[in-house]
Amino acid sequence: MNDSNRIKHEPAGFDRASRRFLPLAAAIALSAAALAGCSGGGAVDATATAQASTATEPETTTAAALPNPMREVTDVLAFDTLGVHMVAPAKGENVRFFIINDEVADMEFQLDGVSYTWRASNTAADFAGIFERFREGSDITVAYDAPDASSEAVIRTTESGGRLSQWKWGKTNYTLHTASEVDDSAITDITKQLMELSLHEN
């Protein structure tokens, strides 16, 4: 077939010069389609990221809104709302007062360089906060007798050497804990002192 016959079947205005630009036009069209696809994908990714970020916001807000079960108070007078009365030892230093879960009175202090935590509650059953085993056969019993009342405290030793004293006056349970390895005489003396103070306030 010669050129004259081929030209008769081509559209009006179409010549050999136009045919030379067809590959270039096709390449430009493909490039534009590819760019449009990339742009669209980026928009989808950005939307998905925004949605994922929004979905996690309620969890963060909820976690931040959780109340602290231990709140610091000004002095022992705040313990009156719990029906618990405590007095800080006269030689106690760096004394601080807390209320835990609205039912446990907590007093923290130092005496002779040793840190102690003294707690009391009328309702909580186990509030000493000790999470280790005790040494067997190391318990000490301390009796305190007053004209109108008497009680006994049991002093136990943890496996790490800390001490825990427990006693009761009326309906109020008391605990005294130190993580330090104090001797029997020191823990007995401070236990008796706090037993007397708590008795006189009941």
> How is the chain split into domains, by residue range?
3-64, 70-200
For residue 15, give Cα distances in angstroms to 12, 23, 24, 155, 198: 8, 15, 16, 109, 111
Contact 177, 191 (CB under 8 A): no
Q: Beta strands 172-178 and 163-169: pairing type?
A: antiparallel
Q: What are phi and psi of 112, to 5 degrees?
A: 55, 40
Which tops the pLDDT comparison, 7 or 93?
93
What is the pLDDT, as a whole number, of residue 75? 94
Instruction: Give residues with Cβ within 8 angstroms of 137, minimum separation 6.
Output: none
Q: pLDDT band for position 118 (50/70/90)?
A: very high
Residue-level length of the chain:
202
**How confident is the prediction for the chain on average, in pLDDT?**
78
- The 8-class DSSP code of residue 134 comes to B
Q: Each residue of 130-163: pLDDT tens digit?
A: 889 999 998 999 998 888 888 999 999 999 999 9
Can you spell out the DSSP letters for 73-121? ESSGGGGGGGT------TT-EEEEEEEETTTEEEEEEEETTEEEEEEEE
